[in-house]
Amino acid sequence: MKLPEHIVLANVPTKIEKLERLSNSLGNINIYVKRDDQTGTEVSGNKVRKLEFSVKEALLNGCDTLVTCGGIQSNHARATAAVAAKLGMKAVLVLKCDKNPRLEGNYFLDKVLGAKVELITPEEYTANINGVMKNIKNELDSCGNKCYIIPEGASNGIGAFGYFKAMEEIKRQEYEMGISFDGIAMSVGSGGTYGGLFLANKLYNYGKRIIGINVSNNAEYFQNKIVNILNEAVNYINKEISYSIDEIEIIDGYVGKGYGLSSRHELDFINKIAKMEGVVLDPVYTGKAMLGLTKEINRGKLNNMKNILFIHTGGIFSLFPSANSFQL
C-alpha cells in the first residue's frame, strides 16, 4: 500500500523479545515485547515513528519550526525537540505544569536539545491548548518563520502512519520468527499508536485483536478519538474501511490515581518486571498498561489467545523524576 511520504528517523526494525518468566507465571500464554523504547536514544519511544510522517509533511510545506505540546514530562515533546535539532529546525514546546517545574527527565532534555519551552497551567491547557499553539504560530509566522503544529502525541491522521508502518514491520518479523501474534497490546495516551495499528490490521485483513489500555480518560473517550484519527488517516490514502466501534478494544480500569500519577502497587510492579526480565517500564504509560494486561490475563479475560505482543512504547526518561517514589 502506498503510504504518505516519510523521513527516516527511527532505528528500526525494533526487536521482539519473549518475556520468558512473565509468560510462565501467567500460565498458557506467551508475552512478547516489541522494543519501541529502543527506536533511538534522544528520540526513544513511539513518538518518533509518528514524527517520521508528521515532520515530512512539515518539510513538504516548507516549514522550519515545529510547535507541539504535552505534559511537563512529555516524551512526545522531547522527541520533537530531538528531531528538530537533528534536522536544523526550531522547536517550540507548550508544556503544562502547575508550579516551577524541576529541571529533570524529559523537560531537562528539551532544554539540552535547544527547544523553546512555554509553560502554561493545566487549566489553560485543558481549556485552550490548540488556541495557544495557533497564537504562537501566528506570532512566529509574522516574524518570518514558518510553523507546523503537531497536535498532542502526534496523534492525528498523518502521525498514525507511523504505526501503520510498524504493523507492516511486525508482520515481517512474524514471518522471520515463525510466530503469529493473536493480539497486539499497548498503552493508549492519545490514540495515535492504536489508530495506526488498527488501520493497518483492517486494511490488510490481518485479523489480530488490537488491545489498548488507556492511561487517562476512559474507553469511550478514546474510541471516539481513534475514530477521528482513522477518518483523517484514510483520507491520505483514499481508502475506506468498515468496522464497528466495538472492534476498537480499549480496556479501562488501569488509569489508577490519574494520568501521570503512580500508586505504590504500580511502581512495585515496574520494579518486579525489571528484576524478572531486565526490561524497565515507565510509570506513566507502559507500567500501567503491562500491569493491566497481566491482570486481565489472570482474570481470564483474554482467553483463547496464545501469543500476545506488547509494544514497549518507551518513557525511560520519565522514570528518573519518580525515583524517590519507589520503595526499593
Ligand X SMILES: *Cc1c(COP(=O)(O)O)cnc(C)c1O
| Residues at the interface with ligand X (CB under 6 A) | 45-47, 75-76, 153, 155, 187-194, 282, 285-286, 313-315
- What is the closest distance, in whole angstroms, from the C-beta atom of residue 139 to ligand X in the complex? 27
The amino acid occupying position 194 is: Y
Cell numbers at 148, concatenated = 507546523
Q: CA 6, CA 158: separation in Å to the nearest integer?
A: 10
Q: Which is nearer to ligand X, 236 or 259 (CB)?
A: 259
- What is the closest distance, in whole angstroms, from the C-beta atom of residue 178 to ligand X in the complex? 28
To the query of whether residue 318 is one of the catalytic residues in this protein, the response is no
Catalytic residue among 74, 187, 190, 322: 74
Q: Which is nearer to ligand X, 65 or 106 (CB)?
A: 106
- What is the closest distance, in whole angstroms, from the C-beta atom of residue 63 to ligand X in the complex? 22
Q: Which is nearer to ligand X, 30 or 155 (CB)?
A: 155
Angle between helices 161-177 and 192-203 (to 10 degrees): 60
Q: Do 292 and 255 meet the contact criterion of CB atoms below 8 Å apart?
A: no
- What is the closest distance, in whole angstroms, from the C-beta atom of residue 242 to ligand X in the complex? 23
Q: Which is nearer to ligand X, 45 or 101 (CB)?
A: 45
Q: Catalytic residues, which ones? A: 74
